[in-house]
Amino acid sequence: MAKEYLGNLELMVLLSLIRVGDQAYGVPISREIERRTGRDVALGSVYAALDRLERKGFVSSVLGDPTPERGGRAKRYFQITAKGVREVRDAQRMLTNMWRNLSVLQGELV
């Protein structure tokens, strides 16, 4: 079966999961992406990406405590798996290789 590559948002979500650590749920993950990229991100898109990543085995999740400030709704905590970490490393290696020696990006042709 052909290897599936990570999408842009999926990669950003995995990187924020690593940055946020143990207490990673929807709100801190999306805030981390917004803080690092300077772009607004819809929570729905973050959850859709997390759902895909969980089905690929790159992320696992557990349901937390329901809290009053969330109207009695539970938090879902996400964690990157070993397979997910390997995938991020692969993506980093691939992108670094693609970036290497690109004269346009080094400003030579500008």
Partner 1 sequence: MRSEHPPVVATWLLERFCADVALAGDLVEQYRDGRSVVWYWKQAIAAVSVYSVSQILEHKWLALRAIATGFVFWYLLNNMFLHGVLKPVMETNGLRVAYIFIGYAFWITNGWLIARLHRPYSAAMVMAYILWAIVASVPAVYGAVSGDPASRSLGWEVASRIATLVSLLTGGMLSTYRDQLRQVREDWRAYATR
Which residues form the interface with partner 1 (CB under 8 A)?
A: 25-27, 30, 42-45, 47-48, 51-52, 62-63, 65-67, 69-71, 73-76
Q: How far is the CB of 38 from partner 1 (least distance, A)?
A: 17
Q: Based on CB atoms, which residue is closest to partner 1, 4 or 90?
A: 4
Q: Based on CB atoms, which residue is closest to partner 1, 38 or 71?
A: 71
Residue 101, Ramachandran bin (φ over 0: left; ψ between -120 and 50: alpha; else beta): left
Q: Based on CB atoms, which residue is closest to partner 1, 19 or 52?
A: 52
**Rounded Cα gap, residues 38 and 8, in angstroms:** 15
Q: How far is the CB of 68 from partner 1 (least distance, A)?
A: 10
Residue 78, token pair as written in the block = 């996400």
Q: Based on CB atoms, which residue is closest to partner 1, 2 or 42?
A: 42
Q: How far is the CB of 58 from partner 1 (least distance, A)?
A: 17
Task: Write out the H or E segment, with its range, that includes residue 67.
Answer: strand 59-67
**Contact by Cβ (8 Å): 32, 20:** yes
Provide the Cα torsion 59, 65, 68, 73; round to 10°.
50
Q: How far is the CB of 63 from partner 1 (least distance, A)?
A: 5
